[in-house]
Chains A and B, each alone.
Chain A
């Protein structure tokens, strides 16, 4: 069976916010490179926040939870904040039953809500 290249994450800078869109299932090698990619773009774009769009993600297991926690810790050390947006209800429910949380990473219903929230936060801190 030929291994198809798994879909990757897309990173789009938007008014000082990096919007990171994750694919339905993130391959392990891509997950490992994600923090590195996001860190690089964060510095290059001088962004103040990273909004992780998980609307397409079909599953978050404890490995993916760990990847997110590590990335959020790195983003915090770089002086920016992380927000997760668009978790599907069935994914959120499965995470709760699995006993997983996102280690205090704030969440938003959708990318639109997340962007509004992050802009409000940035406005307050300026």
Chain B
């Protein structure tokens, strides 16, 4: 699981809250290999934490994939959070600040979007959810 060689590519399953530590470790290691600064590293771990909690809260299980990106010489990490849960019926609304259906503070998705450079969400009622985030190295 340890992304020792580049390009970084690793997947970690999410079964429940106990999977958070493994995701933290993976993202932490990948970020260190990439050489992110302290603020970016903290943003990446916090974003991963929010999105893993969403999986646990709404779907129960899923997976996180970490991949190194190279776009025209610019390097970054892409994190993909996938679950087969109930999905989000109204993605537009879920992306609004202060909106939450569950136990969250309503910061989860809109807050996480502010932490990264790229944020994409693919979800519909009954079809699971996939959230992809990218943080480029400055």
- Interface of A toward B, CB cutoff 8 Å: 1, 3, 6, 25, 27-29, 58-63, 65-66, 88-91, 93-94, 97-100
Identify A62's interface contact among B18, B20, B22, B107, CB under 8 A: B107
B116 and chain A: residue at smallest CB distance:
A97
CB of B4 within 8 A of chain A?
no
Set A27, A65, A89: member contacting B21, Cβ < 8 A: A27
Interface size class of B (residues with CB under 8 A): 20 to 34
* Contact of A62 with B39 in the complex, beta carbons under 8 Å: no
- One digit per residue, 1 when the CB lies within 8 angstroms of any chain A CB and 0 when it does not, for chain B 5-26 equals 0000000000001101110100
Q: Tell me if B53 counts as interface (CB < 8 A to partner A).
A: yes
Query: With the chains together, A60 CA to B16 CA distance in Å?
Result: 19
B22 to chain A, nearest CB (A): 7
Which residues of B from 1 to 56 have beta carbons under 8 Å from A? 1, 17-18, 20-22, 24, 38-39, 41-43, 45-46, 49-50, 53
Contact A61 B114 (CB under 8 A): no
The number of A-B residue pairs with CB atoms under 8 Å apart is: 69
Where chain B touches its partner, the secondary structure class is helix
> Could you say which residues of chain A place their CB within 8 Å of the CB of B115?
94, 97-98
Q: Tell me the complex Cα distance, A67–B42, Å.
A: 19
Q: How far is the CA of A98 from the CA of B115 in the complex (A)?
A: 7
- Flag if A65 contacts B24 (CB, 8 Å): no
Q: Are A61 and B17 in contact (CB under 8 A)?
A: no
Q: How far is the CB of B108 from chain A (nearest CB, A)?
A: 6
Q: Decide yes or no whether B112 CB sits under 8 A from chain A.
A: yes
B97 proximal to A (CB < 8 A) = yes
Task: Identify which of B18, B21, B53, B97 contacts A61 (C-beta below 8 A).
Answer: B53
- Kindly state whether residue B87 has any CB partner on chain A within 8 Å: no
Q: How far is the CA of A99 from the CA of B115 in the complex (A)?
A: 10
Chain A residues, Cβ within 8 Å of B24: 25, 59
A115 vs B115: C-alpha distance when bound (angstroms): 33
Most buried by A among B45, B46, B115: B46
4 tightest Cβ-Cβ pairs between the two chains A and B: A98-B111, A61-B49, A90-B42, A62-B107
Q: Are A3 and B21 in contact (CB under 8 A)?
A: yes
Bound together, the chains give a CA A39 to CA B46 distance in angstroms of: 28
Instruction: Provide the residues of chain B in CB contact with A61, threshold 8 Å.
Output: 46, 49-50, 53
